[in-house]
Amino acid sequence: MNNSRRKFLAGAAAGASLAGVAAAAASAAASDTEVGLARRLKRSPASNEMPRGMTLLSIRSSNGDTLGVKTDHGILDVRRASLALRLPVPLTLDALLQDGGAAEVAQLVAAARKSRHADSLYVDESTITHGRLFADPGKIVCIGLNYREHAKEAGEKVPAVPILFNKYNNALTSHGTTIHLPTSDVATKFDYEVELLVVIGKRAHNVSIEDARKCVAGYCSSNDFSARDLQLELDGHQWMIGKTLDDFAPIGPYFVCADLVEDPNNLNIECRVNGEPRQHSNTSFLVYNTDFLVSYISRHFPLDPGDLIFTGTPPGVILGMPKEKQVWLKAGDQIACSVGNLGELRFTLA
């Protein structure tokens, strides 16, 4: 190999190495910028206030799920706007509710609207993939048999007190997701349950019914997806195991702040399977309404910001049908759920 050829290869290798270092440095710089902005987030007492006047969602990206704000200009990408405008804010709904920062998010929304870079800070909602609204709540509390007609169709008495059970964080998933059903040796009797989700924004401990709503940050459409054979056919009627398999708690597409929901106890609630209406009711038919539930639960254990309450499902589930008409959900089915003005939650089974 002649000297000129050796020099060329050595230069090329050095250039590639420098390019790699530069790319890594740029990535690290972006990461450092985010960390730096987060460290600069010095919260005033107002920062611990609950978010108001906003409809929020989660955007999935290569950097992880990040907060989005639904506006008249499109979806504000909070991570992108925070970096561009150098305004530190919480980047997930979990962080916003658990650590505070509502005032900073409101400031970012206002600044983005006026920014000369505004066009680059918003995305068209039709182009995004929704991430999980919640990934790490402290508690997921569920309520059983909380509509009279649902209790009746299930062959159960209306409960004298709310029936509490739980899901775990592995069950949490997003709008637009695909739920991969477990194999037939685990479960086969899959059922839908559209529900209003209550999201706690202020610590609630021994709160009265009258003050309960002051502790609520917002609401979502949700589905308490269930495996009835695990829930009801194992010894002891084990509700928890039938409710908390992977991705059995889809939530979304939006988190709607409480002040934008006029009355959570008077919302239409619906579920459709492959376009066919299956459930249609109103939260006014809850046996124990949202205010009572927050108060009741808080008398037994505290509810903290970011905690979730699935408030129960109305009649129309497969379980409530005559046995000869029970056709359990299967791979390929498409589920759509809506609660009031909270948006339509959609997911597919596989």
pLDDT, one tens digit per residue, over 73-109 is 999 999 999 999 999 999 999 999 999 999 999 999 9
The dihedrals phi and psi of 29, each to the nearest 5 degrees, come to -65, -45
Write the DSSP string, 259-322: GG-S-TTS-EEEEEETTEEEEEEEGGGBSS-HHHHHHHHHHHS-B-TT-EEE----S--GGGS-
pLDDT for 237: 80
Does residue 240 register a pLDDT over 80? yes
Q: Which two tokens stand for residue 88?
A: 């530190």
On whether both 214 and 147 belong to a single domain, the answer is yes
What is the Cα 202 distance to its own chain's centre?
18
Cross-strand bridge partners of residue 272? 277, 336
On whether both 190 and 269 belong to a single domain, the answer is yes
On whether both 110 and 224 belong to a single domain, the answer is no
What is the total count of domains within the chain? 2
pLDDT for 48: 64
Q: What is the reported pTM?
A: 0.88
For the stretch 272-312, pLDDT in tens is 999 999 999 999 999 999 999 999 999 999 999 999 999 99
On whether both 205 and 61 belong to a single domain, the answer is no
pLDDT for 236: 82
SS (H, E, C) 65-121: CEEEEEECCEEEEHHHHHHHHCCCCCCCHHHHHHHCCHHHHHHHHHHHHHCCCHHHH
Q: Provide the domain limits for residue 101.
A: 45-127
CATH number at residue 168: 3.90.850.10
Q: How far apart are the first and last CA of the chain?
A: 58
Does residue 208 register a pLDDT over 50? yes
Does residue 349 register a pLDDT over 70? yes
